Amino acid sequence: MSDNAVERFLVIFISIFFEALPFIALGALISGTLEELLPQGAITRLLPRRRSLAVGASALLGLMFPMCECGIVPVMRRLLRKGLPLSCAVAYMLAAPVINPVVIASTWAAFSGDRTGLDGLTSMQMVGWRVGLAFVTAVTVAHVVHWADQRYGLEALLLPIRGLAWPRGHRANENEIEASNDPLNPLMEKKSAASAAEVKNHSEETPRPAASQTRWPWYVRLANIAEIAIHDFLEITCFLILGATLAAIVQSADLLSYLPVLKDIPFLAVPAMMLLAVLLCLCSEADAFVAANLIAIPFGGKLAFLVLGPMLDLKLYLMYTRVFRPRLIWTIIGSVAITVGILALAAHYFDVLIRGSWLATMTSSSS
Amino acid sequence: MHLRRYLTEQLWMLGVGLIYAGTMLFDYWRASTGERTPISTVVPWIQQMILYAGVVLAGLVVVRAFWVYWTVRELSRHGHVHLPGHPHDHTHQEHHDHEGGCCCVPESELAALRANESELALAGAPAQGHHPGHHAEHEHEHDWSPWRFFVLLAPVLLVLLPLPWDEMLRAFERSKSRVQSEGFAGGVATPGDVLVAFGTWSFSADPLARSLAAALCQYRVGEEPASLEKALDYLEAHAEVPESAIRRTDVPQLEQVAYVPVQREQWKQFRRVEVEGLFQPIGRRPNQFALVRLRMACCANDSRPLSIYGVLRQPVRNLQPGDWVRVQGRLDFVQLSDGTWKAVVHTYKIEKAPLPPPAQFYVQ
């Protein structure tokens, strides 16, 4: 590696790191607050009873609780711990980095202005397609995850989630008991009445109310929030560092300079742009500005880049390893990639049918 | 969970948390003095968020450190933790007094710390309320892995080591601002160049001179410019152009203007425009160059070049790629081979200019 490559690596690494750091801190703070203050099962009670509706509603939660993809992992992990069904948590995790006001506004801004003679795309078009495809992808993958949950069980899909080291450590059983009363929670579907009673009996040996129902002094709650927040911040940051390192190594090759090769070949552009999104590790608030500048890339390629990037990249993969077991990670990766690929290609050809190819548009406007 | 291990983990966590908070605050402070540091790789609003994150993290660390200190002190004194004002809802295996309304954390919640009596003995506390069954249940929750803390310290080292961040960022920006272009059809160094013929022709009011200029541009060969061009350059470079006639603009605006036909016609009316940016030679034509600004949405990783072109009647001299320059000239627009339009400044004056402050270097 030449000196320049090392310098480039360091600058890209540190920029990804510092860009994500405050959002991880925010996510960790929300995570600690949720853990300490949110009553068990509260979110689940707010969701519709039907699973498909609950998954759909979870995919839209980002409109009320906007989070970027870096900060959402610790939050999602705590929501899982608070009884949110796995399928709903995955839907929220995948959709919220796209379907939130900040990203919608940035996508709108990136594609604003008269692009006649370029790719002919409009802000409304890109925002609509991006949000729509992200929603459909998140809901589809959530149902695949639900299927995996039914087939393999939660234990095979999720890593144990750390609770408070002090002064509360014995919370997992309470979660399970409360979750067992929730028809939406997959834990209930897996647990027989006998095993639920067993858990309950075991818990009764050391009766203790749920943390959020206990009236602990405010300073105890604050200390607990602090512990969870610091722990989650450091844990996720550690994997951010590894992901940013990989991304910086890959990007030292200046991938964007090879893109004109993909012009006019949607079948090649869509998977190539999906791969690029994984390697570049761009923030969902920034990726639209990069995509808007890739004039030569067909519409489907741009769309695949914008939908897949916030759901899957190198640093996110490493962050997922702190929550999910490999079986679930690869289930999510596979289903996200296939869904986005198919949808982006379908959207591309639909767009060509509706408004003619962008090349034709460009030619006619030039003449 | 062993008390010693618990304390070790807590101390590491608090220590690294504090180092992170300190690093964020320190780097923000350095950047606020105008120095280019690692934090300069993100946009100002994220820099502000880093400041707030540093403050919040420092606050959390202080709160947590105080709590850990207090609980360990209580544990070593009494063998349990008193929470003033909290209802006394547990049973002690050993009887002792709780004066002044003090209460304790329930025994079950102390189990994690009491799993190992010898560890408690180290802390000077008697063993009580031990629930052996809880030990195994708690084990899975505390994933103590010291290697993570060493990984976490890597970026901190990058920030604290005296690395030449200014030079590194300049090199990165130079490489990012490179324009992939073979230039455009035009330039005085090439005979038969219609664009430059138009440029020369455009600022003469005399129809004969305009025709001659166009003809000279068309038929001139070699590097030596024709005499009429020399004269025109001299006149234009030394012309007394009133300040009001100079339209100051920037690269992003001109890039936008180039997309819209109506605006292109309007902007051609300005006698002179002045614009600043990074100088980048393009193609093989020594008199053509790109004027580049980098747009950053969030961080240097997503930065991308915005550019316009410039054309001189002589080859560009004494400028290096990546130099910050100020250009004055007349605006025109050219359609490139891919169908896009680009602003071109027929340059009368190009000179090095001082770099803008770091906060204004990138376009957002």
What confidence tens digit (pLDDT) does each residue in B262-301 have?
A: 888 888 888 788 999 999 888 777 778 899 998 888 888 8
pLDDT in the model for residue B213: 58
**What residues 328-357 of chain B have any CB closer than 8 A to a CB of chain A?**
335, 338-341
| Contact between A231 and B341 using a beta-carbon 8 Å cutoff | no
- CB–CB of A318/A285 below 8 Å? no
Closest CA of chain A from B61, distance in Å = 7
pLDDT in the model for residue A180: 35
Q: Which residues of B touch A286 (CB under 8 A)?
A: 297-299, 302
pLDDT-derived band at B141 (thresholds 50, 70, 90) equals: very low
| Contact between A206 and B158 using a beta-carbon 8 Å cutoff | no
pLDDT in the model for residue B52: 95
Indicate which of B49, B82, B299, B342 best probes the interface with A, i.e. most A CBs within 10 Å of its own CB: B299
Among A10, A21, A167, the residue with its CB nearest the CB of B105 is: A167
In a domain, B218, yes or no: no
**A16 CB within 8 Å of a chain B CB:** yes
Q: HEC states along chain A? A: CCHHHHHHHHHHHHHHHHHHHHHHHHHHHHHHHHHHHCCCCHHHHHCCCCHHHHHHHHHCHHHCCCCCHHHHHHHHHHHHHCCCCHHHHHHHHHHCCCCCHHHHHHHHHHCCCCCCCCCCCCHHHHHHHHHHHHHHHHHHHHHHHHHHHHHHCHHHCECCCCCCCCCCCCCHHHHHHHHHCCCCCHHHHHCCHHHHHHHHHHHHCCCCCCHHHCCCCHHHHHHHHHHHHHHHHHHHHHHHHHHHHHHHHHHCCCHHHHHHHHCCCHHHHHHHHHHHHHHHCCCCCCHHHHHHHCCCCCHHHHHHHHHHCCCCCHHHHHHHCCCECHHHHHHHHHHHHHHHHHHHHHHHHHHHHHHCCHHHHHHHHHC
3-class SS at B157? Answer: helix
Closest CA of chain B from A318, distance in Å = 13
Instruction: Read off the tokens for A11.
Output: 């600058």
In a domain, B235, yes or no: no
**A213 CB within 8 Å of a chain B CB:** no
Closest CA of chain B from A117, distance in Å = 7
Closest CA of chain A from B148, distance in Å = 6
Average pLDDT, stretch B21-47? 91
Instruction: Read off the tokens for A326.
Output: 């490999």
Q: pLDDT tens for residues A245-265?
A: 888 887 777 666 666 666 667
| Contact between A226 and B60 using a beta-carbon 8 Å cutoff | yes
pLDDT in the model for residue A344: 93
Query: Across A129-138, B65-74, B115-124, B240-249, which has the greatest mean pLDDT?
Result: A129-138
Rg (alpha carbons) of chain A, rounded to whole number = 22
Q: Which residue, among A65, A271, A230, A268, has the nearest Cα to B67 in the 3D structure?
A: A230
What is d(CA B99, CA A359) in angstroms, rounded to the nearest whole number? Answer: 83
What is d(CA A260, CA A256) in angstroms, rounded to the nearest whole number? Answer: 9
**What residues 58-77 of chain B have any CB closer than 8 A to a CB of chain A?**
60-61, 63-64, 66-68, 71
Q: pLDDT tens for residues B222-258?
A: 444 444 555 555 566 666 666 677 888 899 889 888 8
Q: Which residue, among B138, B116, B112, B139, has the nearest Cα to B127 in the 3D structure?
A: B116
pLDDT in the model for residue B99: 41
| Closest chain A CA to residue B72 | A166
Q: Which residue, among A216, A262, A286, A9, has the nearest Cα to B104 in the 3D structure?
A: A216
Q: Which residues of A touch B53 (CB under 8 A)?
A: 21-22, 25-26
Q: Which residues of A touch B106 (CB under 8 A)?
A: 206, 208
| Contact between A163 and B141 using a beta-carbon 8 Å cutoff | yes
Phi, psi (5° rounding) for residue B58?
Answer: -60, -40
| Contact between B111 and A170 using a beta-carbon 8 Å cutoff | yes
What is d(CA B312, CA B291) in angstroms, rounded to the nearest whole number? Answer: 13
ipTM over 0.90: no
pLDDT in the model for residue B230: 54
- CB–CB of B200/B302 below 8 Å? no
What is d(CA B116, CA B119) in angstroms, rounded to the nearest whole number? Answer: 5
Q: Which residues of A touch B151 (CB under 8 A)?
A: 238, 241-242
Task: Return the exposure string of B276-298: e unless at least 16 CB atoms fall within 10 Å of the residue's CB, then b.
Answer: bbbbbbbeebebbbbbbbbbbbb
Residue-wise DSSP of B116-127? -HHHHHHTT---
| Closest chain B CA to residue A223 | B64
| Contact between B169 and A11 using a beta-carbon 8 Å cutoff | yes
Instruction: Read off the tokens for A97.
Output: 């980095």
Q: Quote the domain boundaries for residue B328.
A: 175-181+242-361
pLDDT in the model for residue A356: 63
| Closest chain B CA to residue A233 | B17
* Residues B118 and B14 occupy one common structural domain: yes
| Contact between B151 and A242 using a beta-carbon 8 Å cutoff | yes
| Closest chain B CA to residue A202 | B133
Cβ neighbour number for residue A131 with a 10 Å cutoff: 21
Cβ neighbour number for residue B356 with a 10 Å cutoff: 12
pLDDT at residue B151 tops 90? no
Q: What is the DSSP letter of B304?
A: E
Instruction: Read off the tokens for A305.
Output: 């880049």
Q: Which residues of A touch B180 (CB under 8 A)?
A: 257
Biggest CA-to-CA distance, chain B: 114
**What residues 329-348 of chain A have any CB closer than 8 A to a CB of chain B?**
none
Among B1, B41, B341, the residue with its CB nearest the CB of A18 is: B41
Q: How many domains does chain B have?
A: 2
Among residues B99, B130, B163, the one where a domain terminates is B163
Report chain B's mean pLDDT, rounded to a whole number.
Answer: 72
Q: Which residues of A touch B120 (CB under 8 A)?
A: none
Low-confidence ranges of chain A (pLDDT < 70): 1-3, 113-118, 161-215, 254-264, 356-367
Q: How many domains does chain A have?
A: 1
Among B6, B57, B175, the residue with its CB nearest the CB of A166 is: B6
| Closest chain B CA to residue A277 | B302
Q: Which residues of A touch B174 (CB under 8 A)?
A: none
| Closest chain B CA to residue A9 | B172
* Residues B12 and B137 occupy one common structural domain: yes
Q: pLDDT tens for residues B301-324?
A: 888 888 898 888 777 778 888 889
Closest CA of chain B from A140, distance in Å = 30
Q: What is the DSSP letter of B33?
A: T
* Residues B10 and B153 occupy one common structural domain: yes
Which domain CATH number covers B339? 2.40.50.140
pLDDT in the model for residue B53: 94
- Percent of chain B at pLDDT > 90 equals 18
Closest CA of chain A from B340, distance in Å = 6
| Contact between A231 and B67 using a beta-carbon 8 Å cutoff | no
Q: Which residues of B touch A363 (CB under 8 A)?
A: 339
Among residues B108, B131, B163, the one where a domain terminates is B163
* Residues B16 and B158 occupy one common structural domain: yes
| Closest chain A CA to residue B151 | A238
Q: Which residues of B touch A220 (CB under 8 A)?
A: 67, 83
pLDDT in the model for residue B101: 38
Q: Quote the domain boundaries for residue A291.
A: 3-366
In a domain, B45, yes or no: yes
**A289 CB within 8 Å of a chain B CB:** yes
| Contact between B134 and A287 using a beta-carbon 8 Å cutoff | no
* Residues B150 and B256 occupy one common structural domain: no
Helix (H) or strand (E) holding B28: helix B3-32
